[in-house]
Amino acid sequence: FIDSFRHFNKEPNNYTWWSYRANARANNKGWRLDYAMAAQPLQDRLKRAVILSEAQHSDHCPILLEIE
């Protein structure tokens, strides 16, 4: 399987979860707990994968995987 987010985004410090303690989200001290894994044969059809960090309805962020 392919980690679709890492396929497009190599830089560190991208998280999908932050504790409600110690202002963790504002300080970007989180964990990447949410993944969209893709089977290897789909690799050429992956268009983008992003973390929708603007959404603040939960301690987790939604993730988006676009496949052709």
Convert the pLDDT of each residue in 4-56 to its tens digit.
999 999 999 999 999 999 999 999 999 999 999 999 999 999 999 999 999 88
Number of helical (H) and strand (E) elements in the chain, helices listed first: 1, 6
How far apart CA 11 and CA 65 sit, in angstroms, is 18
DSSP state of 5: H
Tell me, letter by letter, the H, E, C secondary structure of 23-35: CCCCCCCEECCCC
Q: Whole-model pTM?
A: 0.86
CB atoms within 10 A of CB 30: 19
